[in-house]
């Protein structure tokens, strides 16, 4: 069934329709490239926001929760087609914004190690999706994202880690759950998997599941590659403080098991 995705939140600047093939590919592979979803006004505004946010970041290549203090990011997270993309691909009637994150890889920046995202986030019991928007042209040698197709279906919660400046895994989180699986050396296992990797143009989006194993290549080009990642959750997702590996996104006002609805994780879409 073709889904029309427009609601009162969609300003119609970038209307988006998801085709049945798109949906089935997303469910099977866990990641999909959507071409030319967002137009020039967004890209221009979000580049300014990304540069400003990164100039205040103490991390070498990313900054989180930008939307809370940046008008263009707030507009994108709440009122663009991004929540509708999330709702359609998760097939969810309610969508919450979890947080947003800007990334920049400059020339020579290292690879992002393989990982899956949900183990880092203080949420459980539902699906999550990232809408990852390219703000620059990203060629194969400029640090594109890579995904292990179908790993979203493994339901493996790989042990989270921090990353040092040279891109190496600095510390593995021990956790209180005892539920994290040791992280295989996916780099040496490359030949055993179907790896998805796409070149992107500004305005292209990769939408990917919170459980898919992914990373990014080193930036071997002279160009900077900026990306804007917005993380959304779907029906049934609840707060889970044991998952507070990423301390920047924990919500001190929520208790375990509560729905996420809050100022920090606002509901961005409800389909009646
Ligand atoms: O941009 C990168 O290198 C990493 C992005 C990533 O892992 C993510 O958005 O979840």
For the cut 70, the answer to whether the pLDDT of residue 12 exceeds it is: no
The alpha carbon of 1 and the centre of ligand 1 are apart by a number of angstroms equal to 32
Ligand 1 atom 10: residue of nearest CA: 117
> Of all atoms in ligand 1, which is nearest to the CA of residue 208?
10
pLDDT, tens digit (0-9, with 9 covering 90-100), for 28-55? 999 999 999 999 999 999 999 999 998 8
Q: Residue range 7-25: average pLDDT?
A: 66
Task: List pocket residues of ligand 1, CB cut-off 6 Å.
Answer: 103, 112, 117, 130, 132, 214, 216, 227, 229
In angstroms, the CA 75 to CA 62 distance is 20
Residue 53 in tokens: 């946010």
Domain chopping of the chain, boundaries: 20-244
Indicate the class that CATH gives domain 20-244: mainly beta
Of the two residues 189 and 58, the one the predictor is more confident about is 189
pLDDT band at residue 243, thresholds of 50, 70 and 90?
Answer: low
pLDDT band at residue 10, thresholds of 50, 70 and 90?
Answer: very low
For the cut 70, the answer to whether the pLDDT of residue 178 exceeds it is: no
């Amino acid at each position: 069934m073709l889904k029309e995705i427009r609601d009162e939140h969609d300003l119609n600047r970038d209307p988006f329709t998801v085709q049945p093939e798109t949906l089935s590919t997303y469910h099977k592979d866990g990641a999909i490239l959507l071409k030319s979803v967002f137009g020039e006004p967004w890209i221009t505004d979000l580049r300014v926001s990304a540069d400003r946010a990164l100039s205040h970041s103490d991390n070498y290549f990313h900054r989180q929760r930008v939307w809370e203090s940046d008008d263009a990011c707030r507009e994108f997270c709440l009122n663009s087609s991004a929540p509708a993309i999330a709702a359609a691909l998760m097939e969810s009637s309610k969508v919450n914004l979890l947080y947003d994150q800007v990334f920049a890889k400059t020339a020579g920046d290292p690879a992002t190690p393989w990982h899956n995202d949900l183990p880092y986030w203080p949420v459980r019991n539902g699906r999550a999706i990232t809408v990852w928007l390219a703000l620059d042209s990203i060629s194969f040698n400029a640090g594109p994202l890579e995904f292990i197709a179908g790993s979203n279906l493994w339901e493996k919660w790989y042990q989270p880690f921090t990353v040092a400046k040279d891109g190496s895994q600095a510390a593995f989180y021990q956790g209180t759950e005892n539920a994290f699986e040791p992280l295989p050396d996916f780099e040496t296992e490359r030949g055993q998997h179907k790896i998805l990797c796409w070149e992107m143009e500004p305005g292209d989006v990769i939408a990917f599941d919170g459980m898919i194993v992914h990373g990014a290549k080193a930036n071997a080009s002279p160009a900077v590659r900026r990306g804007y990642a917005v993380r959304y959750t779907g029906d049934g997702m609840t707060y889970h403080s044991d998952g507070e590996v990423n301390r920047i996104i924990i919500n001190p006002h929520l208790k375990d098991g509560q729905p996420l609805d809050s100022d920090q994780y606002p509901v961005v879409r409800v389909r009646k």
